[in-house]
Amino acid sequence: MSYLYYIGIDVGKDDFYVAMHNSKAKPKSYPNSNRGFALLLKDFGDKITDCFIVMEATGGYETALIRFLAKAGANLHKAQPFKTASYMRSLRAGSKTDNLDAIGLARYGAERHEELRIFTPNDQTMEQLQCLHTRRNDLVEMRTAEIQRLKHPLYDDIKDDLEEHYRFLEQKISEIETKIQSLIDENSELKAKSEVMKNFKGIGEKTTMCLIACMPELGTMTRKECASLAGLAPHPRDSGKTQGYRATRGGRRDVRNALFMAALSARRYNPQLKTFFDRLVENGKKPIVALVAVMRKIIVILNAQIRDQCYN
């Protein structure tokens, strides 16, 4: 599909810069607030439905603007920063400003829009789930830090305080997990996905919560897409007669971490995956490589099961 206009938006904490591809006008800045969104719509409202907009993920500062543009009917792509950064470097030698970034994003959209996926905002339940899951991860990291301090003799004098904080964190984590489970149980689609995952040997309650919150696309992708999104697709590094080491990279970190723990369990208690793991090791694969293969197989199987049981 082709569009009449291609717009790049570089989003910062306080402002965002908007550039139109092949326009002689300089990029324009707006405050990253409801007032700025209204001004943007005033300037580009007549072009919104006929344009393709590209912006980067910027740690959440883009979230409100994306929601606003989606409601306005915009065709929007949320780009991965490492991809656009490589593209920007191919356009110029060392220069970097917010204006140039916006111009580069507009050009990126104009040249590659046919292969870029239109961003679809999550519904309110998924946004709540992701927010709660992120908060849970933060608290778990705090709890881990407190556990390490409790084991260290340097903190013996404040041990009571550390234990009190540890108990507080345990309580808050438990409360958040209860809220997450309630949201899943109240949504028929999410509950059905949850049941599929829990019936898989090696997948526990916490892994299920993570996959539902962090990978809502499960059941709607191809096997290659779900492996890539989870950061478990091997990337070749070959040149001439040299065959380089194939390594995984990218993807969603929380999903990958959850699948690692699931794979440790599945290689022991899931007969199918235990056989698969043992065969790979017997064939000369390193145990960690075989474990990653188990992780990839888990997410591919779950994607197929959810597709067959929840979407057919």
In this predicted structure, what is the pLDDT of residue 49? 86
pLDDT in tens, 155-202: 999 999 999 999 999 999 999 999 999 999 999 999 999 999 999 998
pLDDT at 140 over 90: yes
Give counts: helices (H), strands (E), the chain: 12, 9
Residue 174 to residues 97, 138, 180, 301: CA-CA distances in angstroms? 44, 13, 10, 29
Distance CA 94, CA 100 (A): 11
Which residues are CB-neighbours of 150 under 8 A, at least 6 positions away?
A: 159, 162, 163, 166
pLDDT in tens, 273-299: 999 999 999 999 999 999 999 999 999
- Domain boundaries 5-115, corresponding CATH code: 3.30.420.40
Domain boundaries, the chain: 5-115, 124-186, 213-236+248-310
Amino acid at 20: M
Question: Taking the complete model, does pTM exceed 0.85, yes or no?
Answer: no
pLDDT at 126 over 80: yes
In this predicted structure, what is the pLDDT of residue 244? 63
pLDDT at 123 over 90: no
pLDDT in tens, 211-227: 999 999 899 999 988 99
